[in-house]
Amino acid sequence: MAARNVDERDPMKLRRLLAFSVAGSLALAPAAHAESVLRIAMTASDIPTATGMPNNGFEGMRFLGYPIFEGLVQWDLKHTDKLAGIIPALAERWEQDSNDKKVWTFHLRQGVSFHDGTPFNADAVIWNLDRYFKNDSPQFEPQGAGISRARAPLVGGYKKIDDATVQFTTTQVASYFPDMVVYLLFTSPQSFEKAGRDWAKVAALPAAGTGPFKITRVAPRESVDLAKFDGYWDPNRMAKVDKVRLMPIPEANARVAALRSGQVDWIEVPAPDAIPSLKQAGFAITTGSYPHVWPYIFNIGAKDSPLKDVRVRQALNYCVDRAGIVELLNGTAEPASGWLNDKDPNFGSPKNRYGFDAAKGKALLAEAGYSEKKPLSLKVMISSSGSGQMLPMPMNEYLQENLKQACNVELSFNVVEWQVLLNSSRALPDAQSLQGSMALNVSSPSSDPSVMARYFAGDRFPPGGFNFPNWKDDAFDAALKALAETDDTKVIDAQTALAHERLVDNPPWLFIVHDLNPRGMSKKIHGFVSPQSWFVDLTLVSVQ
């Protein structure tokens, strides 16, 4: 089945974009000496916010987060053969209190400075935590607070012990708490002061972090320029390029055109039908399994939602032709029959293994009261682009036809911008902003128990969490509690598998595909590592 290519763009608009890119490239290359410049085309429709807690999902964290603004812990992104774990960053070490497991102590790295020369210390940590978690603090930032509270929902309290030590208290015992701390990034308090205590003006300074790159220029909807930070605290992780230019180019074909013409060196998510010709032309296409799933997130909690019936949710998972979507994507994805990848050792042994079985799907729908004369109808909120969204328009059009032909399910779409869709994932089930949507097409990380807890724990309903479906499963919550209260990795693995079995058999989501993280790159790029993570280490990359 052919899907309409909706990534075509206005030729005049493309010429304007490329003209801007050429001008920008010239501006980045002073005549005095040849600087190495890495130019990246993102999928975002605008640059992520550049204040130290970027929006635009994890693509924002990938490019305007970790390279500039760091956390107490960071991802280990140097390996391709295992899931990325966490390692020390602005904290040299941390420990969970043996007497009170809700208490975590982090010992800060000494001698670290922000890009503006001010010291990183416990006062800076507390200042930033107040920015995220204290509504009446002068530096409170609503957008950053919303993102941080959703990603680190167990922060109950925090305090300074001394200049080099801070302590957190969590709202419940959680062995995976450091996996949440990795998402709390730190900006220099002086950036806020220089901007007249106005977060809207901080990015224009630009804002200062502690990372291997510093921001040098921000042009909304056009680009962000980064430069190597020569004063970075880790001499073993110094950037190999002098500058990075990040450009939002949401249309896949436009990104491909920019790569072919030499206007960029690296593109996120090339158009699948362009991959063979890109390879033939000598461009590198990198792929690799990583913890990510492209689903429909069901709205179970809405009044009269047909998705309250588990048979309907299971039926939809049987009705999807995942192999057809993989073919549409030219092999840059894998079928998903659960939140975790089928090859994950913690996938478990669920009773249901979802493949394309239209007969079984239709039988379950019939049991739930749906027939040829009374078809199931669903409105789904989707985006035209965005972080990890792959090619959402062609993919959703494929699903629309697939579900209609296979199981007589009628899909309609509410197309919104990516950030609007992200905001909707924290909406109440019957919120007017959802416009009657019974599912959200929001791509998701599927990396560790902390993320599992954020999306599925029974006490994480919006607006205080990401459990948009308002899904509650007692067996799942029991497994999550058991793994949270131990540091025994065997017990954690076993309970993770039990929890995942419940996600499959009592599905809160329609699991569609795991994408393979495709990127297109010019021959000039060397040293790139495609880790099993949403994130990448730009310090490893050189341009020659």
The domain limits of the chain are 1-68+211-288+518-544, 292-515
Q: How confident is the model at residue 18 (pLDDT cuts 50, 70, 90)?
A: very low
pLDDT, tens only, 462-475: 987 889 999 999 99
How far the first Cα of the chain sits from its last, in Å, is 42
In this prediction, residue 3 has a pLDDT band, given cuts at 50, 70 and 90, of: very low
Question: Residue 383: pLDDT above 90?
Answer: yes
Nearest to 275 by CA among 42, 523, 520, 41: 520
For 206-234, what is the mean pLDDT?
97
Question: pLDDT tens for residues 318-351?
Answer: 999 999 999 999 999 999 999 999 989 999 999 9
Distances (CA, A) of 519 to 40, 256, 515: 10, 10, 11
CA count, 13 A, side-chain hemisphere, 33: 3
Q: Strand (E) positions, 64-123?
A: 73-75, 86-88, 91-96, 103-108
Burial of 297 (0-12, 13-18, 19+ CB in 10 A): buried
Structure tokens at 67: 């390279």
The pTM for the full model equals: 0.86
The residues facing 286 across adjacent strands are 519
Q: Which residue has 């167990």 as its token pair?
A: 154
Q: State how far the Cα of 239 lies from the Cα of 225, in Å rounded to an integer.
A: 14
Mean confidence (pLDDT) of the chain: 93
Predicted confidence at residue 33, as pLDDT, reads: 58
Tell me: pLDDT of 31 over 80: no
3-class DSSP state for residue 238? coil
The amino acid present at 11, given as its one-letter code, is P
Handedness of CA 71, 289, 448, 424 (dihedral sign): positive
How many angstroms from the chain centroid is the CA of residue 114?
26
Residue identified by tokens 């809160």 is: 508
CATH 1.20.1440.60, applies to 292-515: no
∠ CA 516-518-523, rounded to 5°? 145
Which of the 8 DSSP states describes residue 118? P
pLDDT tens digits, one per residue of 277-321? 999 999 999 999 889 999 999 999 999 999 999 999 999 999 999
For position 465, what pLDDT does the model report? 80
Give the residue carrying structure tokens 């588990």.
Answer: 310
CB atoms within 10 A of CB 512: 26
The H-or-E segment that residue 543 falls in is: strand 542-543
49-96 pLDDT, tens digit each: 999 999 988 999 999 999 999 999 999 999 998 889 999 999 999 999
Using pLDDT thresholds of 50, 70 and 90, give the confidence band for residue 150. Answer: confident
Element (H, E) at 410: strand 410-416
> Averaged over 445-449, what is the pLDDT?
88
| d(C-alpha 266, C-alpha 174), whole Å | 39
Which spans in 92-203 are helix H?
122-133, 142-151, 177-181, 189-194, 199-202
Contact 206, 188 (CB under 8 A): no
The pLDDT, as a whole number, for residue 11 is: 42
3-state SS assignment for residue 463: coil
* pLDDT at residue 24 in the model: 47
> 467 is written with which tokens?
């459990």
β-strand pairing of 542-543 with 525-526:
antiparallel
Count other C-beta atoms under 10 Å from residue 97's C-beta: 12
pLDDT for position 34: 81
| Segment holding 405, helix H or strand E | helix 392-407
Write the burial class of residue 476 (CB in 10 Å: 0-12 exposed, 13-18 middle, 19+ buried).
buried
d(CA 70, CA 87) in angstroms, rounded, equals 12
- What does the pLDDT read at residue 448? 87
Domain 1-68+211-288+518-544 falls in which CATH fold?
Answer: D-Maltodextrin-Binding Protein; domain 2 (3.40.190)
> How far is 457 from 473, CA to CA, in rounded Å?
8
Cβ neighbours of residue 117 closer than 8 Å, sequence gap 6 or more: none
CB environment 181-200: b (16+ within 10 A), e (fewer): bbbbbbbbbbbbeebeeebe
pLDDT tens for residues 392-423?
Answer: 999 999 999 999 999 999 999 999 998 899 99
